[in-house]
Amino acid sequence: MARPGRNGAVDWLIFAVLLAGVIVSCGPFAWMLATSIKPDAEVFRFPPTLFTTDPQLDNYREIFSAIPFGRAFVNSLVVCIAITLAQLLVCSMAAYAFACLDFRGREPLFLIYLAALMVPPQVTIIPNFILVRSLGWIDTYQGLILPFAFSSFGTFLLRQYFKTIPKELIEAARIDGCAHWQIYLYIVMPLSRAALGALAIFAFVSQWNNFLWPLIVTTRPEMQTVTVALSTLQGQYNTDWPLLMTGSVLAVAPVIAVFILGNRSFIAGLTAGSFGGR
């Protein structure tokens, strides 16, 4: 049904444009899934076909023997979950200080935090690598996790959300004798589940897709993440495309699952004042 005051043809046009966008966006994923079950002879067939009459499911077994995909998958899960939990803790504590505490130099210090968002991550790779190497953290979980335990974007996101919490609640808690850690733990955090969920999705997805840093700080196959392990299937002269697409399908599954489970928190965190504030 068309909205009052709007032509129905406009609604159908908007729907058609959005549907076309969905098809274009899902096209590469459909092609990736189809290629993962195609025989080698059909991958480069011309004209290309999306569906195959002879699906090959052996690729989903072979991927675990061709490369240490199972170990890489576990490594990615451990690293992403640890980084997500660390960012939720560190960013929420920093955001609470910037949003709920009054101290001299708070605003200039917060601007310095925001300035870190303008620094490309490639600029800090070499200093971080030198530090990690000097600490002996090459091929270790701490070398993969700790450099990303803090996020300027996460602090900004939570700080803006915390500022939408009524100050009367915090002042009432202070009158009742609550310490700052009690206000943070029992008042601010429960009221900020939407923003925390949005940050968790951001952190998990960005680290799951991280390729450059794991490539630099891992030299042993048993410490590689999924992105690095899949890159070994692509050679200079030959690439096993069905096997590579099979690994890509399995690698995308956790990201899709995380977004499906947390899409409500993700949307609520972005629409309930996360980028607002007072």
Tens-digit pLDDT profile for residues 5-44: 556 788 888 888 988 888 888 888 888 888 888 877 777 7
Q: Which two tokens stand for residue 219?
A: 């030299």
Which pLDDT value is given to residue 278? Answer: 45
Instruction: Output phi, psi for 166, to 5 deg.
Output: -55, 130
- Going by pLDDT thresholds of 50, 70 and 90, the confidence category of residue 244 is confident
Helices H, strands E: what count in the chain? 15, 0
Query: Mean per-residue pLDDT for 38-64?
Result: 78
Q: Taking 50 as the threshold, does the pLDDT of residue 222 lie above it?
A: yes
CA dist., res. 106 & res. 93, Å (int)? 14
* Closest listed residue to residue 42, CA positions, set 227, 251, 245, 252: 245
Identify the bridge partners of residue 234 per DSSP, sorted by sequence position.
Answer: 239
Residue ranges of the domains in the chain? 59-271
- Going by pLDDT thresholds of 50, 70 and 90, the confidence category of residue 276 is very low
Which pLDDT value is given to residue 166? Answer: 87
| Amino acid code (one letter) for 259 | F
Query: Mean per-residue pLDDT for 117-137?
Result: 90
Residue with tokens 């096997």: 243
How far, CA to CA in Å, does 141 sit from each of 127, 217, 222?
Answer: 18, 10, 11
Which pLDDT value is given to residue 90? Answer: 94
Question: What is the percent of the chain where pLDDT is above 70?
Answer: 90
Domain 59-271 has CATH 3.40.190.150: no
Long-range pairs for 215-221: beta carbons < 8 A, 24 or more residues apart: 216/125, 216/129, 217/129, 217/132, 217/137, 217/138, 217/139, 217/143, 217/144, 218/138, 218/139, 218/144, 219/138, 219/139, 220/139, 221/67, 221/68, 221/71
User: Exposed, middle or buried: residue 66 (CB in 10 Å: 0-12, 13-18, 19+)?
Assistant: middle
* Closest listed residue to residue 52, CA positions, set 28, 35, 64: 35
CB atoms within 10 A of CB 88: 19
Instruction: Output phi, psi for 227, to 5 deg.
Output: -65, -40
With b for 16 or more beta-carbon neighbours within 10 A and e for fewer, the 135-152 pattern comes to: eebeeeeebbbbbbebbb
The H or E element containing residue 30 is helix 8-35
CA dist., res. 200 & res. 81, Å (int)? 9
* Closest listed residue to residue 225, CA positions, set 254, 201, 199: 254
Query: Mean per-residue pLDDT for 80-88?
Result: 95
Q: Taking 60 as the threshold, does the pLDDT of residue 225 lie above it?
A: yes
- Going by pLDDT thresholds of 50, 70 and 90, the confidence category of residue 277 is very low
